[in-house]
Amino acid sequence: MAVNYNSAYRLHTVLTEFAEQPAGTSALAAWSAVFGLRSDDKHHVWIQATAKLSLIFDEVDLLEVKMEGTTFPPET
Amino acid sequence: MIRYALDPSGLNNPVSNYSRHIDRYVLSALLWCAAALPSDGQLLTDNDLAGLNAQLRDLRELIETASLPTTLIHFFLHHVRILEDALRNYKVRGPTAFVTAHVSAVQHIAVNHGLIERHKDDIEVRAASKRLADVWEWIEERVQDIETSHKALTYVAAGAAAVNGAAPHLLPIISGIANQLK
């Protein structure tokens, strides 16, 4: 199956990486690892992680728009 | 399911609270969507990303070691930060991250073009401008078929008009990618 580079692929890449983070860590630490955020100031990392999450929400919206605007084969 | 997995209200909770929403069915569905939907940009390889990272590191070093006025150092470092942010956001936004960066860069040049114009004959300013333009041209060569948005086009058009008269070495930044966005 050929995979195209688009919003679905980007979401798949980011979410796969997040899901592979060790179960014992906090979500903040996991997102920091995924996005490569580095800072000793936890509040700073929190803000950065939230900003990155808002970008992913944008990608989800984009994916929804693309799916609504795409004509899929009848069997799908 | 994805929206549950991205809820930022409990970032201190264990990762398992979130990852349970990202099961193999969600990931399979996304992979199917990726295959079924059209591609919206060229994928930068790991080597490309490492190369861009190295170029930005060199550019930052050049600016920080140059004997430029403080205002110009801030000007060039702001552009380095714009590109560093684009590099970090690439994983999530794809080539669109560079469109956003381009819009920010054009706006910043437009606001500060008088500053650059006053120092355009300074050798170190010309060197830094040239290096910055080289980075953008490098990006332009690799990030093809960028998905455009009306908002980005509007900003680019306004920015290109506003920077008319800016430093010659920075103009390729505007003209190159602006042409690509048309």
Q: Which of A18, A36, A17, A35 is nearest to A27 (CA)?
A: A18
Residues A5-21, mean pLDDT to the nearest whole number: 91
Would you state the pLDDT for residue B110? 76
Q: Which residue in B has a C-alpha nearest to residue A13's C-alpha? A: B91
B10 touches chain A (CB under 8 A): yes
- Split chain B (182 residues) into runs of 10 and give each run's mean pLDDT: 77 83 89 87 83 93 91 92 90 83 81 79 84 81 58 46 46 53 44
The verdict on residue A36 lying in a domain is yes
Would you state the pLDDT for residue B81? 93
Residues A24-51, mean pLDDT to the nearest whole number: 87
The verdict on residue A4 lying in a domain is no
Q: Looking at this predicted complex, what is its ipTM? A: 0.85
Would you state the pLDDT for residue B71? 92
Would you state the pLDDT for residue B57? 94
CA dihedral in degrees (B134, B170, B120, B71; nearest 10)?
-90
The verdict on residue A17 lying in a domain is no
Q: Measured between CA atoms, how close is A61 to chain B, in angstroms? A: 10
Of the residues B1, B2, B6, B27, the best mutation for testing chain A's interface (the one with the most A CB atoms within 10 Å of its CB) is B6
Q: Measured between CA atoms, how close is B33 to chain A, in angstroms? A: 6
Would you state the pLDDT for residue B153? 47
Would you state the pLDDT for residue B154? 47
**In whole angstroms, what is the distance from residue B72 CA to residue B63 CA?**
9
A14-34 per-position pLDDT tens digit: 999 999 998 888 999 999 999
Would you state the pLDDT for residue B125? 85
The verdict on residue A18 lying in a domain is no
B15 touches chain A (CB under 8 A): yes
Write out chain B in H/E/C secondary structure: CHHHHCCHHHCCCEHHHHHCCCCHHHHHHHHHHHHHCCCCCCCCCHHHHHHHHHHHHHHHHHHHHCCCCHHHHHHHHHHHHHHHHHHHHHHHHCCHHHHHHHHHHHHHHHHHHHHHHHCCCCHHHHHHHHHHHHHHHHHHHHCCCCCCCHHHHHHHHHHHHHCCCCCHHHHHHHHHHHHHHC
Whether A46 and B33 lie within 8 Å, measured CB to CB: no
Q: Which B positions 35-64 lie with beta carbon below 8 A of chain A?
A: 35-43
For A35, the closest of B16, B37, B88 (CB atoms) is: B88
Q: Which residue in B has a C-alpha nearest to residue A64's C-alpha? A: B33
Domain count for chain A: 1
- Give me the residues paired with residue B30 across strands: none
The verdict on residue A58 lying in a domain is yes
* Residue A46 structural domain: 25-69
